[in-house]
Structure 1
Amino acid sequence: MPEATLLIVGSTASTPWGRDQISRLSAQARQRGLRVMGADTPGNLAVAGGEQPRMDETVELDVHDVRACRAWATDHEAGIAAVATIRELSVLPTAWMARVRDIAGNDPEAVLRVRRKDVCRQRLREAGFPQPSTAVCHNAAEAERFLRTTGPGPWVVKPRDGLAGIGVTVVHGPAELGAALAKFEDLPPAISPLGRPDSFLAETYVEGDEYSAEGVVIDGRPQVLALTRKGKGEGFVETSHRIPSGLDPATAAEAREAVGRALTAVGITRGIFHVEFWSTAAGIVLGELHDRGGGDYIHALVERTRPGFSLYGAFLDDLLGHAPQPVPPAAGAACAQFVLAPPGRLRAVHGWEEVAAHPSVFASHLQVAVGDTVPEATDSYTRPAVFAAGADSPEELDALVSALTARITFDTVKEAGPDPLGPDGP
């Protein structure tokens, strides 16, 4: 009889937190006696370096294509006991593979409902949740019509099916629509499997502090494990994630209850989740729902502040039908802090080695090197550095993160472009 296997759909990762997620998922699967099989595109496997997590077996598969994944799942021999992914663009193929294999997983229709942001918002409205007004638009004229009828603004323009803040813009009037839509013409590789969007969303802007809820569905019931406070830079660039959130008990309870009801309303019955929300003057307003864990080391913050808890182990136990393990009480505080740099050619980084070696820092990554051109941070993939640290209390954590961030200095110089008038001037 084939050995019981966990199939990880999308087994390589371009980000350090993605690799850490896959490593923890693999380790916690092996602790449960599972063999680990990885599947990814030939291109991703070809460029995967030595930092990628170890698989017991690897197969080439277009893990973003539902049809290819369903065909592979139909033809593959027995032995796959569970199928999982950390990758946003592989959540739907993973759900279909579980259905084809007749093993535990989310309903593909529910997954598609969550991925299509306008459809998800409509389902939440029908369930009684306040939501921003939303329109699916195909051109600037349709977006301008939405702006005129939902003023005074501002508004958000974004892909209907995107991720990581890519292509998201706040606009304050029709004159800014052209620049917002131009972003859809040059989308980065992270979103390329979706192709060029033929429609996009325009939404009314929600005023409020931004947070997210992290958790896992156990026995069909969403269990919120942590609420995370989100730090933001210019636009939609996320600069930090902190647990605990600092919300007052009543607001935190309202958020936990809303998140649980919302996931049930859209039909999510399995898996790790990451749900964004705003705390507004009128109460909790839910943002995007994700039936996969958050990025940016959020998974590590959850495990750090639930000592002894295995996030992926709890997920796998539910898929395998094992009895759930008790969830340890919350303790301590943890933060993932991104450090931004002035755009330009990097001449030096000061203080990074000291911060990365600090005993309270449990993860760190510097993705630029001397001589590189540091771009302006516009999404989750263009932030140059991150560290994650823990402390015994929120107050100690805030002081620690501030002190560590202050030690890091990026020395960049703006690169001069060609003189349009030529070397000799006018």
Structure 2
Amino acid sequence: MKKILILGAGIYQVPLIRAAKRMGLYTIVASIPGNYPGFPLADKVCYENTVDHEAILKIAREENVDGIVTAGTDVAVITIGRVCDALGLRGLSAEAAEIASNKLAMKSRYEEYGVRTARFRKIPFAREDYEELLEGLEFPLIFKSVDSSGSRGITRVDSPADFREARHNALENTRSDYFIAEEFIEGDEFGAQAFVQDGKVEFILPHGDYVFRGDTGVPVGHYAPFETDRACAPDVREQLEKAIAAMKLDNCAINADFIMRDGKTYVLELGGRSGATCLAELVSIYYGFDYYEKILRVALGEHVDFRAIKDDSGRPRLTPNASMLLTSDRDGVILSQENRNDPSDPDIVQIQFDYAPGDSVHAFRVGPHRIGHVITKGDTLGAAVEKLHQALEHIDIRVAGEA
């Protein structure tokens, strides 16, 4: 029986763990202790911090694992790269993982390789008179911690009056002694899921994003297909492929964030793993294959076919779909939750509650504050989106607490 080491036991690793179990793999899950839903599903649990690459490498060696992987989080990516290098496993390299896990390194590579991206500056936390460093950049700006994920440590800055609070937010969400400031590009936000295998980009699936407007835009849902202007499609591919090459990403899933302005694609950032917020499910539904299974097979050293499932006429069967997180507008305790949707509706793919009545939840600010999700599909994108809104109207969650 082959062994797979999965880093993380949270809500976005659960489908990966379940896919591994369906495949008959011996599933080892590593994570810090906590009430994580992935622990009961695993064959073996190792209570280790996934950023401690030496501890994870020791586990991988002792267990003689055949692969190591994660989903939906950037936190464990560096560890995966280092373990893959040390043990000769298939996956992104330590160098690529380091670039993908540090926004300054990533942006610097984009600049070197001619990837179209926002202008930026490195700002040391120790330096308080950094207005001089920002010379040449235009407001609004974004202050970002360089090593956080889930939209943490990111703040929009409209004037110097916002500097102190934005700097503090970056400082509270980083292990580094600097952050970056970059220009905020006004335009249409969208993303893409992709996979690179043996140096070849196997697919690129652009998707639209539903965004929660807090300190910055936080994705709360997605839909596919995302129709860019036909003339812009080659530019999307070109910029993504250049960014992948710049970051030296290979044999891994890719989560990409873009802005489209005046017909030009600007790369915000790429992650060397599958996206969260139902994005792996978006890929699976759209192409008709189990994306989690394919991610696992690549990690195990197999060469995988990423072509879409075909219909009876031999054409790719591409299924439009849409998803949305369930969230709370307040910190508090769930009093009740009700799903009044028809369980036999074929176009409702999944409705999931992450918590039960009596559980404490957070007011939504960043991705991990989700309390569930809804996924729908349809013959057309319009039908999938309409079904999504209908399904959401038939879900009631009551949370006691102050708004």
Q: Same fold (TM over 0.5)?
A: yes
- Quick check: 1:266 aligned with 2:252? no
Q: Match for 1:101: what amino acid?
A: L
Contact persistence 1:124–1:265 (CA under 8 A) = yes
- Quick check: 1:390 aligned with 2:385? no
Cα separation, 2, equivalents of 1:56 and 1:84 = 16
Q: Match for 1:327: what amino acid?
A: R
- Quick check: 1:311 aligned with 2:298? no
Q: TM-score, normalised by structure 1?
A: 0.82
Cα separation, 1, equivalents of 2:281 and 2:234 = 23
State the match for 1:213 in structure 2. 192
For the residue of structure 2 that corresponds to 1:76, the secondary structure is helix
- Shift of residue 164, structure 1, vs aligned partner: 0.6
Within a 5 Å distance, the mapping from 1:7-406 to structure 2 comes to 7-10=5-8, 12-13=9-10, 15=11, 17-28=12-23, 30=24, 34-41=25-32, 43-44=33-34, 47-49=35-37, 52=39, 54-73=41-60, 75-76=61-62, 79-86=64-71, 87-139=73-125, 141-151=128-138, 153-184=139-170, 187=173, 195=175, 197-234=176-213, 235-307=216-288, 309-325=289-305, 327-328=307-308, 329-343=316-330, 352-355=338-341, 357=343, 359=345, 360-367=347-354, 375-406=362-393
| 1:279-308 Cα distance to aligned partner (Å, 9 max, x none) | 11150111111110000111011101111x
> Taking structure 1 as reference, are residues 407 and 314 closer, same or farther at Cα in structure 2, changes over 3 Å only?
closer
Cα separation, 2, equivalents of 1:397 and 1:340 = 20
> Taking structure 1 as reference, are residues 121 and 330 closer, same or farther at Cα in structure 2, changes over 3 Å only?
farther
Query: Is there any run of 5+ residues in structure 1 with no aligned partner, and where?
Result: 188-193, 417-426
| 1:357-395 Cα distance to aligned partner (Å, 9 max, x none) | 462222223346667776442111224442111112111
* Aligned positions, number: 391
Cα separation, 1, equivalents of 2:360 and 2:26 = 42
For the residue of structure 1 that corresponds to 2:75, the secondary structure is helix
Contact persistence 1:164–1:379 (CA under 8 A) = yes
Contact persistence 1:218–1:315 (CA under 8 A) = no
> Taking structure 1 as reference, are residues 211 and 408 closer, same or farther at Cα in structure 2, changes over 3 Å only?
same
CA-based RMSD of the aligned residues comes to 2.8
Cα separation, 1, equivalents of 2:178 and 2:3 = 39
> Taking structure 1 as reference, are residues 104 and 253 closer, same or farther at Cα in structure 2, changes over 3 Å only?
same
| 1:386-410 Cα distance to aligned partner (Å, 9 max, x none) | 2111112111112212222334455
| 1:178-198 Cα distance to aligned partner (Å, 9 max, x none) | 2223324655xxxxxx64x42
Contact persistence 2:327–2:369 (CA under 8 A) = no
> Taking structure 1 as reference, are residues 253 and 178 closer, same or farther at Cα in structure 2, changes over 3 Å only?
same
- Shift of residue 342, structure 1, vs aligned partner: 3.7
| 1:210-237 Cα distance to aligned partner (Å, 9 max, x none) | 1111122223212224211111121322
> Taking structure 1 as reference, are residues 341 and 84 closer, same or farther at Cα in structure 2, changes over 3 Å only?
closer
Contact persistence 1:218–1:270 (CA under 8 A) = yes
> Taking structure 1 as reference, are residues 321 and 373 closer, same or farther at Cα in structure 2, changes over 3 Å only?
closer
For the residue of structure 1 that corresponds to 2:92, the secondary structure is coil
Query: Is there any run of 5+ residues in structure 2 with no aligned partner, and where?
Result: 309-315
Q: Match for 2:69: what amino acid?
A: A
Q: Match for 1:6: what amino acid?
A: I
Max Rg structure: 1
Q: TM-score, normalised by structure 2?
A: 0.86
> Taking structure 1 as reference, are residues 22 and 254 closer, same or farther at Cα in structure 2, changes over 3 Å only?
farther
> Taking structure 1 as reference, are residues 95 and 407 closer, same or farther at Cα in structure 2, changes over 3 Å only?
same
Moved more, 293-302 or 216-225: 216-225
